[in-house]
Amino acid sequence: MYARIAGVVMLLAAVTACTKTTNEGNNVDTNRVTTGVIAMDPKDSRGPAPEVPGATKGGTLTILRLTKISHMDPQRVYSFAGLMNASLYARYLTTWKDDGKGNLTLVGDLAETPGKNVNGDCKVWEFKLKSGLKFEDGRPITSKEVAYGIARSFDPDLTGGPTYVQEWLADDPQYDTKWDFKANKNSLPPGLSTPDASTVRFEFKKARCDLPFAVSLPASAPLPPDKDTGVNLDNMPFSSGPYKIAKHTVGVELVFERNPHWDPATDPVRHAYPDKFVWSFGADAEAGANRVIADSGPDASALAWNGVPASLVSKVAGNADYWPRTLISPTPSANRLTINTQRVKDLAVRQALNYAIDRDGLIKTLGGATVAAPMTTLMPPSTLGFQSYDAYPAGKNGNIEEAKKLLAGKTPELVLAHGDSKTSTEIATQLKSNFEKAGFKITTKAVPQDSTLDETKKKDNPWDLYMDSWAADWPSGASILPVLFDGRTIRAEGNTNSSYFNDDALNKEFDRILQLDPVAQAPEWAKLDQRIMKEHAPAVPLYADVAYFLHGSKAGGLYVSSVFGYPAFTNAYVKS
């Protein structure tokens, strides 16, 4: 399906992100080209990872964050913090080599290569595991533990994680009705097998050419059955990576120390330079940034995970002393105001919300151009085949008159749910003021920040509107539009389709496009993006994130992930 060129398979055409920010006198152009290849030569998947210039072992790197990480069970990890954190303690079948500048190479992580397409039709895949892989207790990692990890993702109690592989194996979005994990813990779901101790085999009824990408997510991490504590694995996952959990006080502190059984010779991307990684929870964005700005004691080797808040942007951007400690980068993260179409059934109301939106005011509330770039499409500009369009031209500050025409004198009463953090509350306040100018009556409802994601994923949630963010799991519309808008995936909870939108004709389009070669898919996703918005308006596209982070002077090796747009820890070290 892919054209092989000199030992690699070209994944992505050149893609350019369209934001540009300026760090006062230090011009930082965030326009860049994202490219990718899949490495077919096993040597590209071998370790150890090349040494980071200037890196030294030792010290503690601290990450300051407001709230706890929503999930740490690898089969449930799907938040940005969770994805970046998981690389410390979990290994996957495949992973990305990332230079932090948009150049990506998919390689084998647990596997010797990014997979073998056995018959050339993408229906049968095999992954041969490397030798020397071990868990934190020293026992070897075999195909049995990898397959068990994947099998447990069928458990309906373990909500929150990606569902690609489960749906593909079951050939049904309602995968947990096709195979009962709890009743079959000693077996594997149909299509998943372990021919020997080092081979994991997938057999699908349909072509699944994106499988090497799907298993680059933490959901393919291994787990011994005797270490499966069910929902409690969230608090103490069992390590296959370079670090293991030494201490976890939920919502307060999470401490990692080195896993002595991790072998760098098997790992093509990770290092284990710091003695410890410590997540410290409780500091909001402003407090965390101010601690890092002060640059004293442990905070000199800290990262402010919640970024540079609006209140401190001018201070940080205007002082050259902070520029060497700044991470700024475009991201693939697209933010939208999700409309619960089960509750907001009138298309005219959904279209009026799109016309009324004041994107400029929202971005100013967020902190300006160093934080966000306006979007009018469902897919971000970093997506292969991206085409810009604006289905509901609102200008910079909203087309209030056009919104009022659509409402025709009606005053829809809508409930807007939001996290209870300072930033989320400010955003909700801005949106309420914005929409009420067009005639809407908006009631805001604060929800605990660390449970907002799970609560809005419940089908019976009682809200009409809520903020959502989505970064493609790989840079293709295949991991955006079907994931967010295929109505056949809707279940009681754990939904990625949080608009609860379902249209038979569009579902058929998803199926048609997914059977195409990935290169041929690109323009089709762009066309479907427009069709969804023009015909159904299940959301209001808002902005793409611009990453803007600050770290202490002793924190080194940090970069912004080209895949997820948040700080990555694979090269991190503490300066002596």
Q: Name all contacts of 400-406 with Cβ < 8 Å and 24+ positions apart.
A: 400/355, 400/356, 400/437, 400/438, 402/352, 402/355, 403/352, 403/353, 403/355, 403/356, 403/438, 403/439, 404/352, 404/438, 404/439, 406/348, 406/349, 406/351, 406/352, 406/355
For residue 28, what pLDDT is reported? 43
For residue 102, what pLDDT is reported? 77
> CB within 8 A of 388, min separation 6: which ones?
376, 377, 381
pTM over 0.75: yes
For residue 204, what pLDDT is reported? 97
pLDDT in tens, 312-369: 988 999 999 999 999 998 788 999 999 999 999 999 999 999 999 999 999 999 888 8
Conformational region of residue 510, where left means phi above 0, alpha means psi within -120 to 50, and beta covers everything else: alpha
Find where tokens 């940005």 sit: 80
Give which of 474, 555, 574, 478 is closest to 98, Cα–Cα: 474
For residue 18, what pLDDT is reported? 41
- What are the chain's domains? 32-275 (3.40.190.10), 332-546 (3.10.105.10)
* Nearest-5° Cα angle at 378, 166 to 440: 115
pLDDT in tens, 184-209: 999 999 999 999 999 999 999 998 98
Q: Residues in the chain with pLDDT < 70?
A: 1-36, 517-519
- DSSP state for residue 534 in the 8-state scheme: H
For residue 35, what pLDDT is reported? 55
For residue 522, what pLDDT is reported? 83
3-state secondary structure 405-450: HHHCCCCCEEEEEEECCHHHHHHHHHHHHHHHCCCCEEEEEEECHH
pLDDT in tens, 226-240: 999 999 999 999 999
pLDDT in tens, 531-574: 999 999 999 999 998 999 999 999 999 999 988 889 999 999 99
ω into residue 48 within 30 of 0, thus cis? yes
